[in-house]
Amino acid sequence: MTFAANGPGEHGRSVPTSPKDEAAVKEGFRLASFNQHASDLVSFERTIPDSRPPRCRDKSYDYSSLPKMSVIICFTEESWSTLLRSVHSVLNRTPPELLEEIILVDDFSQRGHLHAKLDNYLTRLPKVTLIRFPSRQGLIRARLRAIEIARGPVLTFLDSHVECNVGWAEPLLQRISHNRRVIVAPVIDAISSRDFSYIPISANQRGGFNWAMLFKWMPVPNYEKSRTGGDPTAPVRTPTIAGGLFAIHQRFFRSLGFYDPGLDIWGSENLELSFKAWMCGGSMEMIPCSRVGHVYRSTQPYSFPGGNVKVFMRNNLRVANVWMDGYVNLFYLMKPELRNEPFGDISSRVELRRRLKCHDFKWYLENVIPELNIPSLQLVASGEVRQSNL
């Protein structure tokens, strides 16, 4: 696909469709849960607006002092145009001396374009490696597989329907070069699922969660704004990350036990990483000078082995019972139907937490997210981490 300065979607503009496209648009939504027809009209290398705060553009970086990154993108049944636009945006907007490699992991896709056609296309791109799973394993195990072969000291995880913006990599790597125990995430701009317009998002939000173990965006509190001195380019401490887009030093990730291998397919891995990063001697930040656009979908176009909801809830149970101490009762208050549900053997994760001498969850609530409402302290037992019946 060639570059056209005024082509569809250029400069992040919306892609118009007409009534005659209705059938193609409908089919695209069925296949991808976004307007695949509109995406297919957009160049793999389209231009998008620079959404960084203006002062970010004045910053300079000494590339020789920054670590290299391995970019890891896992996918299943991804649309051709969104996948390749993601890859091209990494190649085009990452300084070559900072990019070790791009590792793609295909989680048993069945769509025809993701087989020989993709293999052939990738031969023309530098630094790209493709791994294929012979059966469905899910995001978490796909990432763990990529980590096994990653050569870069920094691991950067991206979704397969993103567009990296100009200067996105340097500020992430700079923060990690200063502190290997910080996990950094870009500010995530929106790409419309309906017309593929690029929509810059305010940096006045950070990651949180609720007692149903759901990630949610929350306003940056005043105490954090005071800490940054009102500098729109300053990193913002965040209690949690969304999980799809972040960078972490490989040694720090290893010290945290990577992901819980007992988590299935997708879900709650971001909260597990967030809790243990903060509780076990690290921190998390959102970096306003790093911007990546992401296509948000209201539904998922694929199913999970075992059922989407069941898998997600089992993952929540594992994370809550390892990391939340007596506050797990607040999760059960929100989800009483799960109280007697099994979640597998968590003994190795409990031992990891003990060995790392992590803070308790009360410390996390008081020091990392003090604004989170605690519904009823009387329901919070002093209890111990519970082991399920296998």
Q: What is the pLDDT of residues 29-84, one digit of tens each?
A: 999 999 999 999 999 999 999 999 999 999 999 999 999 999 999 999 999 999 99
Instruction: Give percent above pLDDT 70 in the chain.
Output: 92
User: How is the chain split into domains, by residue range?
Assistant: 24-295
Give the 3-state secondary structure of residue 16: coil
Closest Cα to residue 249, out of 343, 319, 155, 121?
Answer: 155
- Annotate 73-103 with DSSP letters as a single string: EEESS--HHHHHHHHHHHHHHS-GGGEEEEE
**Residue 5 pLDDT more than 80?**
no
Average pLDDT score over residue span 297-316: 72
140-199 pLDDT, tens digit each: 899 999 999 999 999 999 999 999 999 999 999 999 999 999 999 999 999 999 999 999
- pTM check: above 0.85: yes
**Exposure on the CB side of residue 182, measured as CA atoms within 13 A:** 19
**Residues, the chain:** 390
User: In this predicted structure, what is the pLDDT of residue 4?
Assistant: 59
Confidence bin at 299 (pLDDT 50/70/90) = confident
CATH number of 24-295: 3.90.550.10
